[in-house]
Amino acid sequence: MFMWSRQRTTSTFLAFLRISRAQTSKEILSLTCHSSSSSSSSSSPSSCSSGLHRSVHQPLLSRLLSTPPSPSPLMELKKVLEVLEQFAPLSLAEPWDNVGLLVEPSRPRPISTILLTNDLTEAVMDEAEALTCDLIVSYHPPLFQPIKRLVQRDWKQRLAVRALEGGIAVFSPHTSWDSVRGGVNDWLVAGLGCGQVSVLSQALASGPCRFKLEFKVRNAEELQPIAEQLKKEDSKTTLTHSVNSCEAEGLVASVLCSDTALPSAVQTLLQHGVASQALAILKTEQPPLPGHGQGRLIVLDQSVTVATAVEKMKSHLGMKHLRLALGSGHTMESTVSRAAGCAGSGASVLKGVRADLYVTGEMSHHEVLDAVASGASVILSDHSNSERGFLAVVKEKLGARLPDSVTVAISKADWDPLEVV
């Protein structure tokens, strides 16, 4: 019995080594049993009783016996938010929007599961709890209007309470994803094909509002006390001057100041005898951010018919049906070479844009009539259907930026509340 058990143990170990050999390329493993009284050609249970000799490739053996590799480092919420900010800076969002971290649990925990959704509904929250989710990224902000209380009779407030009780953080990017280069709107118009893409409503760099004040003085001596007083009132105020071509007219000076320093700067100039009629006040614009902004215009490399454009967008959005309004004088065979797109409710962005086709989620009855009268056909997919497909792009991009310890999933319970029946 002992001899049979020893043989069985040896066979098991041999099988393990064969598996190890199959899992490592071109590394030789051997296990041989030698009897002290017989040759290696004899193979019987009794031959193994006299001794067990092992010959194993040493580097592999060391690796088999070594400590397994350490898992990927866990990420705190702060670090994940930094990755989201790198993907689409929140400064790109519209001023009226409510973006960023909306719900932050009091007890921070490592982020291991992120759930992406277009809208945070109670069905999506059920899904997040079942997945033991740590962070929900909801494209639309579930909290938009100011909240004075958290009670159970309001469904959005119930969601906020459940998130806090479950220790689930909630983040919303909304219009920052619309604006960013390579974001929702670029993804939307790409469904029509390749082409030259431009921004409809240009995003500007973020920064404080500044004003430029231009005025005249007779000479540099008159300018000196004005400059000293302005600096005293606001250290960030900058003053420059240039010599006019006609020396008799004196110096043309300009002051650049913040909006908060504007009243005192104007008062200082008036106190020093600068005539109000000779004072010009200009609001400076922030520099544009190329490629970022709301809405997109695409000039297609290869024109398509309206019918083909509809089929392309059905495929791109994963929908069986779309709503179509033909532009004045258009047919299904009319040519589309210029198309304008804006995800969600895009009428305000698309209005007045010269294009053969508008693509958006929703427009009012009268907005569609205006577009049709201008000669543009209109494709409507319903609001969230023009946005939801971008979540797959986000999942891929986050997967490339986050460690393996973080799982990114797309909600299966998220869908547009409207459907064609």
Do residues 188 and 357 make contact, with C-beta atoms less than 8 angstroms apart? no
Residue 240 or 195, more confident: 195
Write down the pLDDT at residue 69: 55
Helix runs in 209-248, H state only: 220-233
CATH of the domain at 214: 3.30.70.870
Write down the pLDDT at residue 123: 98
Write down the pLDDT at residue 276: 64
Residue 191 and residue 323 in one domain: yes
Residue 245 and residue 120 in one domain: no
Q: How many whole angstroms separate alpha carbon 90 and alpha carbon 141?
A: 13
Do residues 36 and 50 make contact, with C-beta atoms less than 8 angstroms apart? yes
- Give the highest mean pLDDT range of 57-61, 118-122, 206-210, 269-273: 118-122
Write down the pLDDT at residue 189: 98
In 219-376, the DSSP E strands lie at 238-243, 251-258, 280-283, 288-305, 323-325, 335-345, 357-362
Tell me if 365 is assigned to a ligand binding site. Answer: no
Phi, psi angles (nearest 5°) of residue 405? -70, -10
Q: Which residue among 65, 85, 109 closes a domain? A: 65
Residue 96 and residue 151 in one domain: yes
Residue 141 and residue 237 in one domain: no
Q: What share of the chain is helix, strand, coil (3-state, %, to 5)?
A: 35, 25, 40
Phi, psi angles (nearest 5°) of residue 407? -100, 130
Tell me if 404 is assigned to a ligand binding site. Answer: no
CA distances in angstroms from 32 to 2, 5, 7, 10, 351, listed in the order given: 19, 17, 12, 9, 83
Tell me if 57 is assigned to a ligand binding site. Answer: no
Cα distance between the two ends of the chain: 74
Whether the per-residue pLDDT at 191 is higher than 50: the answer is yes
Cβ-proximal residues to 392 (8 Å cutoff; 6+ apart), any chain = 410
Residue 134 and residue 104 in one domain: yes
Residue 369 and residue 349 in one domain: yes
Burial (CB count <10 Å: 0-12, 13-18, 19+), residue 306: buried
DSSP string, 369-384: HHHHHTT-EEEE--GG
Q: How many whole angstroms separate alpha carbon 108 and alpha carbon 128?
A: 17
Whether the per-residue pLDDT at 222 is higher than 70: the answer is yes
Q: What percent of the chain has pLDDT over 90?
A: 61
Tokens of 199: 């921004």
Query: If you ran DSSP here, which 8-state letter would residue 329 be given?
Result: T
Weakest mean pLDDT among 3-7, 195-199, 368-372, 401-405: 3-7
Residue 61 and residue 144 in one domain: no
Q: How many whole angstroms separate alpha carbon 52 and alpha carbon 99?
A: 69
Phi, psi angles (nearest 5°) of residue 199? -90, 140
pLDDT band at 253 (very low <50, low <70, confident <90, very high): confident
Residue 200 and residue 339 in one domain: yes
Residue 38 or 368, more confident: 368
Residue 106 and residue 44 in one domain: no
Write down the pLDDT at residue 268: 87
Tell me if 367 is assigned to a ligand binding site. Answer: no
3-state secondary structure of 132: coil
Tokens of 142: 């579930």
CATH of the domain at 340: 3.40.1390.30
* Average pLDDT estimate for 255-278: 82
Mean pLDDT of the chain: 84
Packed helices 390-401 and 77-87: angle between N→C axes, nearest 10 degrees: 120
Residue 77 and residue 117 in one domain: yes
Residue 87 or 217, more confident: 87
Tokens of 362: 């929703």
Residue 387 or 242, more confident: 387
Q: What angle do CA 121, 123, 128 make, to 5 degrees?
A: 95
Q: How many whole angstroms separate alpha carbon 97 and alpha carbon 105?
A: 22
Residue 297 and residue 242 in one domain: no
Q: Tell me the per-residue pLDDT of 23-79, one tens digit each, with 9 for 90 and over.
A: 444 343 333 334 344 444 444 344 343 343 444 445 544 554 555 555 567 899 999
Write down the pLDDT at residue 238: 67
3-state secondary structure of 401: helix
Q: Tell me the per-residue pLDDT of 267-318, one tens digit each, with 9 for 90 and over.
A: 888 888 876 667 888 988 888 999 999 999 999 999 999 999 999 999 999 9
Write down the pLDDT at residue 210: 84
Question: Domain of 225?
Answer: 210-283
Q: Please give the tally of structural domains in the chain.
A: 4
Residue 362 or 25, more confident: 362
Do residues 383 and 360 make contact, with C-beta atoms less than 8 angstroms apart? no
Q: What angle do CA 136, 140, 145 make, to 5 degrees?
A: 105
Residue 120 and residue 255 in one domain: no
Q: Tell me the per-residue pLDDT of 285-297, one tens digit each, with 9 for 90 and over.
A: 888 999 999 999 9
